[in-house]
Amino acid sequence: MILALDTCLTGGGVALADGGRVLAQVLLEPGPGFSRRLLPAIEQVLAQAGASRNDLAGLAVTIGPGFFTGLRVALATAQGLALGLNLPVAAFSSLRLLAANAPAGSRTIWALADARRGLLYAARFEQDGETLLRREPDMAISPELLLPRLEPPALLLGPGARLLGPGALAPGLELAPPQCDLPSPGLLALMGQRRLEKGQGVPAHQLRPRYCRPSDAEVRFGLPLDDYRLVR
């Protein structure tokens, strides 16, 4: 059984998968307090599936980019569970999870999320059926610099796509249906299961958050930003 945790963006959730199917899923409503709500959600999905923590074979977690406090909640929880239970972890970009939520097809996909401070998180993928090939790394970028990069035809997906507005989009750029804007913890669990079956998990101590932009404190105090991909 694979337990999936996601609290990177506005909403989040927990899911449990086994044998290529989702056994249980709990969605977390947008808002503060992921740190108070995540552990009860984990116990809820385990109870729904009639399972315990000792039944877990691995974890899947999103590591960002996203809202700083939120992404750290799921990441720290996954690290704690993985260390305590000696489990491997499949770590995923929150933007890859968004892109994987797109309707099946063959096209270019831009996964977009709100990075605040007038920026968007963005990444470009090529979709071929159920296969996603990354073409751009996760980045934080202003809408003004992003728009010229959006070459049609392409599907724009995620909550950040709504911030652009349809009037700003060139012909051939399509907005995905709103239901695609919310990451699926069940899908994350299935993605994690496939990755862990290939032996591509990582130990808990190697997990690192992917911020893509500096925090307000780092901007204020001028700390080094070498680890960030901020496109100005």
Judged against a pLDDT cut of 60, whether residue 106 lies above it is answered with yes
Please list, residue by residue across 172-184, b when 16 or more beta carbons sit within 10 angstroms of its beta carbon and e when fewer do.
Answer: ebbbbeeebbbbb
More confident call, 62 vs 118? 62
Domain boundaries, the chain: 2-94+182-225, 96-181
8 Å CB contact between 151 and 134: no
Q: What percent of the chain has pLDDT over 90?
A: 73
Domain 2-94+182-225 fold? Nucleotidyltransferase; domain 5 (3.30.420)
Judged against a pLDDT cut of 80, whether residue 178 lies above it is answered with yes
pLDDT score for 224: 52
CA gap 8, 113 in Å, rounded: 10
Domain 96-181 is found in CATH 3.30.420.40:
yes
User: How much is the average pLDDT of 209-226?
Assistant: 69
pLDDT score for 226: 47
pLDDT score for 1: 97
Judged against a pLDDT cut of 70, whether residue 103 lies above it is answered with yes
From residue 119, alpha-carbon distances to 11, 152, 194, 207, 217 in Å are: 19, 22, 32, 25, 17
69: confidence class by pLDDT, cuts 50, 70, 90: confident
228: confidence class by pLDDT, cuts 50, 70, 90: low
Judged against a pLDDT cut of 60, whether residue 225 lies above it is answered with no
More confident call, 130 vs 228? 130
